[in-house]
Structure 1
Amino acid sequence: MFKGRAWRVVRFGEPKDAAELQEVTWAEPSPGQALVRVRTAGAGLPDLMMTGGHFPLLGAPPFGLGEEAAGEVVAVAPGSRFSVGDQVTGVTAFLDGWGGYAEYAYVREISAIRIPDGLTDEQAGGFPVGFRTAYAGLVERAPVHPGQSLLILGAAGSSGATALQLGKALGATVIAVVGSREKADFCTRLGADHVVNHRTDDVTARVAGITGGRGVDVIYDPVGGETAATAVKSLARNGRIAMIGLASGSPVALDPMDMLLRNYSAVGVLAIPDDDPEAEAAVWSRLADLAKKGAITTPVGRVYGFDEVPRMITEQAAPGAGKSVVRVVG
């Protein structure tokens, strides 16, 4: 048994009212899980959805917060591929009520890796969810191929910035769509080939100019709403839009007749492991290899202290550039 503190949702509402720091006991991990002493945990918009009661995969409180975490393995189940003392990062058992904003966390072995060389604690804590989602979108669901064009909405955010890096690693020409000069500069530093500010630019005209009037092959959309509806106008014939999320508050509205006439498709993306552990292991191995080579790395933004979790969650409604990370151990 392990004892420590964990942030848990005790009621739905504003984060300062919904999240409570509690003393918790962790039992030995079940098969398929490893128990980690957490150093850092990645954050994002789903935290705000969870505290507000708008996250579709979770029921009523109480439950833990934090989808991903990095740290040292302190306990394993029989037959585990990890050992006590391993340094790992992975997706937590948050769907079972156990999150990563805690001194200990269960990570799902199928969605965990040993921390790749070169990643800092903060980069490791924010690595799993963003890059696994980007892989699901750009490799599994709406594949982008070398030489194709990829338009990323919310490209400076925690989802978009990982897709930007993975898209470049896959050989795509990346067009980053952002809403400020600060975020435009951030995406340029990450390697975007082109940056469009949707608040000051005519997105359709800019994309037409960049692509010679052809349009883009793939749209990566964690934003939805009017921003995504405008971007869809720039899809090339036979293009694809990968629907990742709805940071705007609503998913993109699609016109079936427009899809038919322009011959484009839309796919939903939810990066939950299927029933093939070997296939899932291959995905994580490829991501780890790209990280070791320096082709991808967590685009860390603001780092919060463990006692700042409620404020961090509130600020996910309008985060700055990069991935927010919570440092659990000072």
Structure 2
Amino acid sequence: MYEGRSWQATEFGEPEDVMSVVETRWSAPADGQILVRVRAVGAGFADVLQVRGQYPGVTPPVTPGLEVAGEVAEAAPGTGYAPGDMVMGVTPAAVGETYGGYADYTYLRAGKVRRIPSTFSAEEAAGFMIPFRTAHQALAERISTEPGETLAVLGAGGGVGSAAIQLGKALGLTVIAVAATDEKLKFCMAHGADHGVNHREQDVAAELVRLTDGAGVDVLLDTVGGELTSRAIQGVGSGGRVSVAGYASGAFVTVDVMDMVLRNYSVVGVYAGGTTPDQDAAAYGTMLGMAERGVIRTPIGTVSPFEEVPAVLARMASGGPAGKHIIRVS
């Protein structure tokens, strides 16, 4: 039996109102599981949705935290891991389990665990799995891209968006970052974006057309949804592809099918949690190779202590600073 702290919400609500630290016990891992002593956690907007009760399948008490890095404390037989191994992985919190990553210990599913690249710190490892897996599915699996094409990323200052910038450049694409503030655009440019568009001050569609010499972008990655995406789609060129990967605005984009037909573009949905073990193995094999070569690495924005989990999630709920946000646990 292992003992420690975990952040929990016994009812749904805003993080700073409903979350508190609870003394928790963890038993030996079940078949196919690994018990990890958590070093760092990647904070994501999905954590906010879980605490608010807006994430499918989650019921109180909620211990959010989907992606962690740490040291194996105990592993079930046959998982391929042993105590002391340094790993990163995805917790079962997304499927309604009460054991999430904002804790001293958590469980990981063996199929969602990888060894930490030699080039990564624990903090970088904690923010790698979900953003880059989502970006890879959006840009290399649900659609295909070719070197020389142009990619526009909505929500480019967020975790998935800033990961997509790096992955897009690694795939040979010209990348246009679309974000809400000049500060976030500076972050995006520092992490590889070729151009930036402030969607609060500029006409997004007009800028996408201008930056592509009138052709429109080949690929649009959407993590925002709502009215912004509806506007940005008007900057997608003929034969373009739109990957819908999120709804940070609170609502998915409403697709105008007639417009899609007349302008000859396609729209696909992206959910990295719905992939098969074989798909995961291939994608992570590619991306971990890139990471080992230094081609991609987690675009960290902030690192905060364990005590500030509710405050970090509250800032994310209102937009927050750019980059991937990390909680250092131990």
Match of 2:85 in 1: 86
Q: Work out whether 1:42 is the aligned partner of 2:42.
A: yes
Cα deviation, 1:56-108, whole Å, max 9, x if unaligned, reads 2x232013210000011111111112121111111112122211100011112
Q: Output one character per residue of 1:227-278: Cα deviation in whole Å (capped at 9) or x when no partner.
A: 1111100111121111111111111121110011112111111111544x33
Give the equivalent residue in structure 1 for 2:227: 226
Equivalent residue, structure 1, for 2:13: 13
Q: Which amino acid aligns with 2:85?
A: D
- So what's the TM-score if we normalise by structure 2? 0.96
Runs of at least 5 residues in structure 2 that lack an aligned partner in the other structure: none
1:216 pairs with 2:224: no
Q: Distance in 1 between matches of 2:72 and 2:229?
A: 41
Alignment correspondent of 2:132 = 131
Contact 1:11 1:17 in 2 (8 A): no
CA distance in 1, matches of 2:41, 2:116: 13
Q: Do the aligned partners of 1:113 and 1:288 also contact (CA within 8 Å) in 2?
A: no
Q: Which amino acid aligns with 1:162?
A: A
**Aligned residue for 1:171?**
172
TM-score by length of 1: 0.96
1:32 positional shift: 2.3
Q: Which amino acid aligns with 1:212?
A: D
Q: Matched residues in 2 for 1:48 and 1:93: separation?
A: 16
Q: How high is the sequence identity, in percent, across the aligned residues?
A: 46
Superposition CA RMSD, Å: 1.3
Conserved? CA contact 1:156–1:187, under 8 Å:
yes
Counterpart of 2:290 in structure 1 is 290
Q: Mark the runs of 5 or more structure 1 residues left unpaired by the alignment.
A: none
Q: Summarize the alignment of residues 109-128 of structure 1 with structure 2, pairs less than 5 Å apart.
A: 109-128=110-129
What pairs with 1:1-330 in structure 2 (closer than 5 Å)? 1-56=1-56, 58-94=57-93, 95=95, 96-275=97-276, 277-317=277-317, 318-329=319-330
Query: Aligned AA for 1:48?
Result: V
Q: Distance in 1 between matches of 2:75 and 2:324?
A: 29
Q: Distance in 1 between matches of 2:226 and 2:36?
A: 38
Runs of 4+ that moved beyond 4 A: none
- Aligned partners of 1:322, 1:210: CA distance in 2, in Å? 24
Q: How many residues align?
A: 327
1:166 deviates by 0.7
Distance 1:263 1:49 in 2: 34
Task: Kindly indicate whether the alpha-carbon contact (under 8 Å) linking 1:6 and 1:101 is maintained by their aligned counterparts in 2.
Answer: yes
Contact 1:6 1:21 in 2 (8 A): yes
How far the C-alpha of 1:144 sits from its partner, in A, is 2.2
Which stretch shows the higher mean deviation, 8-17 or 70-79? Answer: 8-17
